[in-house]
Amino acid sequence: MRVSTVLWTTPHSFDHQHELEQLFPESDILKMFFILTHFTQYCDKLHIPEMQHMPASATLLSTFIAASAGSISDSTMSNWLAGLHFWHISDGTQCHGIDSPLLHHMKCGLTCLVPPNSKQAQCPPVTLDALIQLGQGLDLSNSFDVTVFTIACVAFWSCCRLGELLIPSPNTFDAIKHISHSILPITTHHFHNITPHVPLVALLLHLDVNMNIPSHAPLFSFKTADGAWSPMTKPWFMDRINTIWSAAGHPVMPGHAFRCAMELLLEGVHPDVVATQGHWKSRAFLDYWCQIESILPLFISYCFRHSTRIQAMLQEWFGLVFSSSSLRSPPSHTSRLNHNRL
């Protein structure tokens, strides 16, 4: 009887498979299952032999995504291809088709056919005024509210993804992925006359109100009424901030509204720095920033409140000379003509 040693498994093999599974949360494993099921069903529908499923050719991958053109978003397409790519890697197979020119052009064409209803509606970014209104609407002596405010300040000034600061549900904390109280203590020096929406001041207030939280707990945990503690979750955070902002007349804000970094751009921070701080892979945030109607009037009014910026712009554009105390009026058309005649 012939015995295949290739199929011989060991504890090391099971450990390797377990390690691969631990790299992804359960939700991603379910998405992977859906992608592979959908891909296999597509191949079976076209009677493609199973031997050709892996490694998948550029033609097969291109026709697979082309079959859904006009019905899926570009992000869904990217997730499908990423899932198939990982499927190949986990089986030790090179997926040469994933980098082919054919698939590249197919992806570009599919992006142009994305249905409008699959695109997320744009919303105004979180502004400094909205952050101040949030602080005024929250009870900063309450352990839950002060935690909400601290997260909002840190996300606003650091251009964070909320997933870097919050967990989806109370039982999903992972010390490897999420920040914990173990980073403490934090030392500070000379903080006087600092507004409460500065993130470090908000963080110190959070630590003062929510004392004696264990070091293994998430950093943004709060004391409960019974003296225990609970980690702040993203649904709780989003519900609380939108309750305050809706009462103040703001639209419902999604989590990514914190990453638009409008205040940093208004302060003159270079877009490349903003992109790096916010972990943006491209300057897509500038397109988002420019297409929101509320930003341009706010930017213009902000500039006019800072005459030094106006002077600098005019000096650069027209080469005019201004005094340090006030703007000089540019010479009239008549005076220029008289000067030229002389």
In a domain? residue 279: no
Instruction: Give me the DSSP letters along 198-247.
Output: SHHHHHHHHHHHS-S--TTSBSSEEE-TTS-EEE-BHHHHHHHHHHHHHH
Q: Are 65 and 77 in contact (CB under 8 A)?
A: yes
Comparing 85 with 92, which gets the higher pLDDT?
85
Element of type H or E holding 119: none
Q: Identify the pLDDT of residue 143.
A: 92
Prediction pTM value: 0.56
> Any idea what the CATH number is for the domain that residue 103 is in?
1.10.150
| One domain, residues 233 and 136 | yes
Domain that holds residue 49: 22-118
pLDDT at 145 over 90: yes
Q: What is the mean pLDDT of the chain?
A: 75
Q: How many domains is the chain built from?
A: 3
Average pLDDT over residues 296-300: 62
Answer yes or no: do 247 and 194 share one domain.
Answer: yes
pLDDT in the model for residue 335: 42
Residue ending a domain, among 188, 218, 253, is: 253
Closest among 80, 79, 85 to 100, alpha carbons compared = 85
Taking only the tens place, the pLDDT of each residue in 196-238 is 557 788 888 888 888 888 888 888 999 998 888 999 999 999 9
Per-residue pLDDT at 334 exceeds 60: no
Does any domain span residue 291?
Answer: no
Enumerate residues 6+ apart whose C-beta is below 8 A from 86.
32
Q: Are residues 111 and 141 in the same domain?
A: no
